[in-house]
Structure 1
Amino acid sequence: MLRRLVLTAVASAAASVAALSAAPAVALSPVPAVPADLGPIPLPSQLTGASPDRLTVKVTDAGEGNNGTYKLECHPTGGTHPSAQEACEKLDQERWGRDLFAPTPADANCTMQYGGPATARITGTWHGRPVDATYDRSNGCEISRWNNMVPVLPEAGA
């Protein structure tokens, strides 16, 4: 029985080789070279033709010259934000799949430090998703969260 299995396997392999050698040759064309720099990756609003990303940034108690309500438009850059280009670049460099505007998790362990009375609220649309986020400097987690959004938010001293 084992002999029959081996002979069947050998015969099948031989038939496969014969069939392949009788098949017409397939010409392989070279793969075109890919340029080293493909340029920037298009953003969702650029692919869909949607309106640009638009945010309203309202800052209070952040110190002289930092308070106010600013419009921030990205893709293309515009609005009344004092550092619009830098703010858009900051938001664009953040990782996909991560909610840039997520609040600090409720179970986070935060240092008990006070970073000042500054507060901010960011509302609008980013990458086609609604944004409504608030910021303050009431503890170490919130100070870090604020600092991670500079220059969208102004630098605020303690």
Structure 2
Amino acid sequence: MLRRLVLTLSVSAAALAGAVPVAAASPFPFPLPLPLLSSPDTQDRLTVTVAETGNARTEGRFELECGPSGGTHPSADAACARLDELAQEGRDPFAPVPEGQMCTQQMGGSETAHITGTWRGRQVDATFSRTNGCEISRWQTIEPVLPNTRS
């Protein structure tokens, strides 16, 4: 079974590599969305609004700028570094929980967040909460863009 999987993956990768025109050849074995390939020199600007944390230090509206990092976000350097790390992994930190995803029914808190702006050349309009296991995980994945509310 493992041999079949390895063979299938090898043949698929070879077919994909052969389908890419030489002039547009990429160092990646598969096509990546253009926002993930955008230059790190482009300045990303996000507005992060956090509510219902029960802590005045972590609630409010913050501006986050990356490339270089700045704005009013209390952890701008760390937040930009986390967004860069997720982009390097090919992950979209603002993607919603997939439709039909099974999630544990646990309440992580009443915290909510809304992030708008531009990241990697695309518009962002994402809402976060801690209402079930999937949403809690999604929130924690993007920390410190969103505050750690567990402490």
Counterpart residue number, 2:45: 54
Query: Among residues 58, 62, 68, which one is paired with 1:76 in the alignment?
Result: 68
Shift of 1:63: 2.2
What letter matches 2:135 in structure 1? E
Q: Which has the larger radius of gyration?
A: 1
Cα distance in 2 for partners of 1:62, 1:87 equals 18
Shift of 1:44: 1.6
Query: Among residues 72, 77, 80, which one is paired with 1:85 in the alignment?
Result: 77
Contact 1:45 1:53 in 2 (8 A): no
Cα distance in 2 for partners of 1:106, 1:147 equals 20
Cα distance in 2 for partners of 1:76, 1:43 equals 15
Shift of 1:57: 0.2
Cα distance in 1 for partners of 2:93, 2:144 equals 14
* Aligned ranges 1:89-100 → 2 under 5 Å: 89-96=81-88, 97-100=90-93
What letter matches 1:104 in structure 2? V
Q: Which runs of 4+ in 1 moved over 4 A?
A: none
What letter matches 2:104 in structure 1? T
Q: Give ranges in structure 2 of 5+ residues lacking alignment.
A: 1-36
TM-score by length of 1: 0.67
What letter matches 1:61 in structure 2? E
Q: What does the per-residue CA deviation read over 1:61-95, in whole Å, with 9 as the maximum and x for residues that have no partner?
A: 01211100000000011100000000000000114
Query: Among residues 131, 135, 140, which one is paired with 1:138 in the alignment?
Result: 131
What letter matches 1:54 in structure 2? R
Matched, 1:113 2:114: no
What secondary structure sits across from 1:148 in the alignment?
Answer: helix
Q: Give ranges in structure 1 of 5+ residues lacking alignment.
A: 1-41
Contact 2:38 2:121 in 1 (8 A): no
Shift of 1:45: 5.2
